[in-house]
Structure 1
Amino acid sequence: PRAGIDLTSVQKSLEKFYIEEAYKMAGGNESKAARLLNINHHTFRYRSKKLQT
Protein backbone atom coordinates (compact mmCIF):
# COMPACT_ATOMS: atom_id res chain seq x y z
CA PRO A 1 0.00 0.00 0.00
CA ARG A 2 1.00 3.54 -0.69
CA ALA A 3 2.11 5.66 2.25
CA GLY A 4 0.07 8.78 2.80
CA ILE A 5 1.20 12.31 3.47
CA ASP A 6 2.17 12.93 7.07
CA LEU A 7 0.20 16.15 7.53
CA THR A 8 1.30 16.57 11.14
CA SER A 9 4.94 16.57 10.11
CA VAL A 10 4.26 19.04 7.29
CA GLN A 11 2.40 21.40 9.65
CA LYS A 12 5.21 21.29 12.22
CA SER A 13 7.81 22.02 9.55
CA LEU A 14 5.86 24.99 8.23
CA GLU A 15 5.20 26.38 11.69
CA LYS A 16 8.87 26.04 12.62
CA PHE A 17 9.95 27.75 9.39
CA TYR A 18 7.63 30.73 9.88
CA ILE A 19 8.47 31.12 13.56
CA GLU A 20 12.19 31.13 12.78
CA GLU A 21 11.77 33.58 9.90
CA ALA A 22 9.64 35.97 11.95
CA TYR A 23 12.18 35.78 14.80
CA LYS A 24 15.00 36.70 12.39
CA MET A 25 12.97 39.51 10.81
CA ALA A 26 12.20 40.89 14.28
CA GLY A 27 15.87 40.92 15.23
CA GLY A 28 15.34 38.34 17.96
CA ASN A 29 12.46 40.19 19.59
CA GLU A 30 9.71 37.70 20.44
CA SER A 31 6.95 40.31 20.74
CA LYS A 32 7.74 41.78 17.33
CA ALA A 33 7.97 38.31 15.80
CA ALA A 34 4.57 37.45 17.26
CA ARG A 35 3.09 40.62 15.76
CA LEU A 36 4.52 39.69 12.36
CA LEU A 37 2.68 36.39 12.62
CA ASN A 38 -0.43 38.06 14.03
CA ILE A 39 -0.38 35.93 17.19
CA ASN A 40 -0.09 36.69 20.89
CA HIS A 41 3.49 36.80 22.21
CA HIS A 42 2.66 34.11 24.78
CA THR A 43 1.46 31.87 21.96
CA PHE A 44 4.65 32.59 20.05
CA ARG A 45 6.80 31.66 23.04
CA TYR A 46 4.79 28.48 23.72
CA ARG A 47 4.98 27.31 20.11
CA SER A 48 8.69 28.13 19.87
CA LYS A 49 9.48 26.06 22.93
CA LYS A 50 7.19 23.25 21.79
CA LEU A 51 8.98 23.04 18.43
CA GLN A 52 12.43 22.91 20.05
CA THR A 53 11.70 19.54 21.63
Structure 2
Amino acid sequence: MPDLGKYAVEVGLAYGLSGVLILGLVALSVLRAGRVRRQLERVEARRHG
Protein backbone atom coordinates (compact mmCIF):
# COMPACT_ATOMS: atom_id res chain seq x y z
CA MET A 1 0.00 0.00 0.00
CA PRO A 2 1.51 3.32 -1.01
CA ASP A 3 1.94 6.04 1.58
CA LEU A 4 -0.80 8.58 0.86
CA GLY A 5 0.30 11.07 3.49
CA LYS A 6 -2.27 13.71 4.32
CA TYR A 7 -4.68 12.39 1.65
CA ALA A 8 -5.05 8.91 3.12
CA VAL A 9 -8.48 9.62 4.64
CA GLU A 10 -9.88 11.15 1.46
CA VAL A 11 -8.58 8.34 -0.72
CA GLY A 12 -9.91 5.74 1.72
CA LEU A 13 -13.33 7.40 1.75
CA ALA A 14 -13.37 7.57 -2.04
CA TYR A 15 -12.56 3.85 -2.29
CA GLY A 16 -15.17 3.02 0.34
CA LEU A 17 -17.89 5.10 -1.32
CA SER A 18 -17.04 3.64 -4.72
CA GLY A 19 -17.32 0.13 -3.30
CA VAL A 20 -20.69 0.88 -1.72
CA LEU A 21 -22.00 2.36 -4.97
CA ILE A 22 -20.78 -0.60 -7.03
CA LEU A 23 -22.36 -3.08 -4.60
CA GLY A 24 -25.60 -1.08 -4.74
CA LEU A 25 -25.66 -1.20 -8.52
CA VAL A 26 -25.00 -4.94 -8.51
CA ALA A 27 -27.81 -5.48 -6.00
CA LEU A 28 -30.25 -3.39 -8.04
CA SER A 29 -29.28 -5.29 -11.19
CA VAL A 30 -29.85 -8.66 -9.52
CA LEU A 31 -33.22 -7.56 -8.13
CA ARG A 32 -34.32 -6.19 -11.49
CA ALA A 33 -33.20 -9.35 -13.28
CA GLY A 34 -35.41 -11.41 -10.97
CA ARG A 35 -38.36 -9.10 -11.55
CA VAL A 36 -37.92 -9.21 -15.33
CA ARG A 37 -37.54 -13.01 -15.29
CA ARG A 38 -40.82 -13.39 -13.38
CA GLN A 39 -42.59 -11.05 -15.80
CA LEU A 40 -41.25 -13.00 -18.77
CA GLU A 41 -42.40 -16.28 -17.23
CA ARG A 42 -45.92 -14.85 -16.79
CA VAL A 43 -46.02 -13.63 -20.40
CA GLU A 44 -44.78 -16.96 -21.72
CA ALA A 45 -47.29 -18.86 -19.58
CA ARG A 46 -50.14 -16.76 -21.02
CA ARG A 47 -48.83 -17.24 -24.55
CA HIS A 48 -48.60 -21.03 -24.23
CA GLY A 49 -51.41 -21.29 -21.87
Band of TM-score, shorter chain: 0.3 to 0.5
Structure 1 or 2: more helix by fraction: 2
Q: Larger C-alpha radius of gyration, 1 or 2?
A: 2
Higher relative contact order (CA 8 A, sep 6+): 1
Length-normalised TM-score, structure 2: 0.44
